Structure 1
Amino acid sequence: MQDLEGRNALVTGSATGLGRSIAVKLAARGANVILNYTRSRTEAEEAADLCRAAGVQVQVVKASVADADGGRALADAAARWGHLDMLVNNAGITRHARDHSDLDALSKDDFLDVYAVNVVGAFLVLQATKPLLVAAYKATGRASSVLNTSSIAGVKGVGSSVAYAASKGALNTMTLSLARALAPAIRVNAICPGFIGTRWFKDALDEAGFAEKERSVQALTPLGVASGPDDIADTALFFLSDASRHVTGELLLVDAGMHLGKPRA
């Protein structure tokens, strides 16, 4: 299915994990893709090769979304194609402090660093690319799509740290504000995944710990599964495609039902 053929997409934080899966799936459906990384150059080039295998145009840009120069560098890459149809604000970081009652586990700098990427970064990239997203709308009459990668943490106040949960809550609010402000030229939505089996968790846990984490997630979700990047990316593609052309300002939990609580025995 090449329903996105000729469209241009930018996916931040797309060297690994969910961002990579979204980029590869966009390419498989015909979209040209800009991949973005800050440190994982090798992985970004590997992701680019996977996208090029679909026969689309691919750019790889090293840039931090946390500063305006990074946002402008990504916009400059998109400008080479003349317009931008899709933006996925996927780049994100955390500071691990799972005991939310331990207020000494986080510093002011921890909060500022997390917000700089997870909230301010999403804003800066959209700020820099807005003219290109509007240009696509003017050329086609079809609203461009912005998708923010949020988290169940921003809805339930759970997760790796208070700073992370608070940043995702702020991202959710920003999604609503911008969906209203940027219509009709740009649609803005967010997905709120629960557990995703990516390097994020694997780096924080050893092999045995990661396997135990997957088992605990399966026991806690009504659907009895631990989601992987491709599972969440499939939902992301809904928001980026014409299937969601009448959807904006939506925050969708994609968590196998984790927000509902532990299934009954």
Structure 2
Amino acid sequence: MKPPYENAVVVVTGASTGLGRAIAVGAADQGARAVVINFASSESEAQETARQVRVLGAESVIVQGDVGNDADCIAIAEAAAPFGRIDALFCNAGKTTKPAHAHQLDKLSGDDFLDVYRVNVVGTFQTVRACRHLLERSGRAAIVATSSVAGVTGNGSSIAYSASKAALNTMVLSLARGLAPKIRINSVAPGFMDTVWFDKLGPHRDRIRESVIERTLLKVASTPEDIAGTALFLGSEAACRVTGETLIADAGLRMTGG
């Protein structure tokens, strides 16, 4: 059986750390010919992602850019252009804002919402638009957007973040219609992921992790590699008849009311 990404040209936004890195490295491990690695600010981490991709035998290209800026999305597409096509685009770049739950109506501003939507929703749209012509040359093109279970439950790092992911899920439905029949698009909606983002929480990190393990049906705290497997499935030919779907990968957290 041939590797799922044999000879594929893959683009991953937000690929310097976490899920983006896991997707980029996973695609290389599954036979990708080339992986375009986008980052916004963490160049050293992006270089490490590229190193891991090269170790697995794929060519790596690094491109800096903020997907909230249309010109940067065009630059990401241009980085893939020498390969002649894009077979799988992973729109993984995203952001949140700090206010958690209590008193969000007072702490969140309209600018907070606009900033989060600029990356999570508009950034995904602009990336898809910029890469469309290269995806249409593929013959097996797939897009996978990184959503969140927060877009389904409304229980996320902030109201603005949850709302942006719900908007993303709806946009995937619209894009599935607009991009068919040449391009498939789906989203993956993780729950908690044990990433470096949670290191910022200091002593609260372990408490949150243990709480997640207790509340999920599968009694686990997912890693980026766990979720990358799901994203890579959606981007592969194994999912060739799946489009317009949001696949929740939260270890059953939603089912427990978490």
TM-score by length of 1: 0.94
Alignment partner for residue 163 of structure 1, among 154, 160, 165? 160
Q: Tell me how far 1:102 sits from its aligned partner.
A: 2.8
1:15-59 CA-partner distances (Å, limit 9, x unpaired): 000000000000111111000111100000001000000111110
Q: Tell me how far 1:101 sits from its aligned partner.
A: 4.3
Q: Which runs of 5+ in 1 are unaligned?
A: none
Q: Tell me how far 1:262 sits from its aligned partner.
A: 5.8
The equivalent residue for 1:209 is 204
Alignment partner for residue 186 of structure 1, among 169, 183, 186? 183
Alignment partner for residue 41 of structure 2, among 36, 39, 49? 39
1:123-151 CA-partner distances (Å, limit 9, x unpaired): 001000000000112xxxx3x10000000
Distance of 1:202 and 1:60 partners within structure 2: 25
1:197-255 CA-partner distances (Å, limit 9, x unpaired): 1122222x00x311111100011101111101011011111101111011101111100
The equivalent residue for 1:132 is 134
Distance of 1:129 and 1:222 partners within structure 2: 38
The secondary structure found in structure 1 opposite 2:220 is coil
Hey, which bits of structure 1, 4+ residues long, moved more than 3 A? none
Percent identity of the aligned residues? 48
Matches within 5 A, 1:63-212: 63-99=65-101, 101-137=103-139, 142=140, 144-203=141-200, 205-206=201-202, 208-212=203-207
TM-score by length of 2: 0.97
The equivalent residue for 2:28 is 27
Contact 1:119/1:171 (<8 A) preserved: yes
Matches within 5 A, 1:215-230: 215-230=210-225
Alignment partner for residue 247 of structure 2, among 244, 249, 252? 252
The equivalent residue for 1:7 is 8
Distance of 1:251 and 1:101 partners within structure 2: 30
Counterpart residue identity of residue 149, structure 1: T
Contact 2:147/2:189 (<8 A) preserved: yes
Distance of 1:102 and 1:76 partners within structure 2: 40
The secondary structure found in structure 1 opposite 2:38 is strand
Q: Tell me how far 1:100 sits from its aligned partner.
A: 5.2
Query: Which segment drifts farther, 145-154 or 177-186?
Result: 177-186
Counterpart residue identity of residue 209, structure 1: H
The secondary structure found in structure 2 opposite 1:80 is helix
1:67-102 CA-partner distances (Å, limit 9, x unpaired): 111101001011111100010000000002112543
Distance of 2:3 and 2:188 partners within structure 1: 23
Q: Which runs of 5+ in 2 are unaligned?
A: none
Aligned length: 256
Counterpart residue identity of residue 52, structure 1: R
The secondary structure found in structure 2 opposite 1:158 is coil
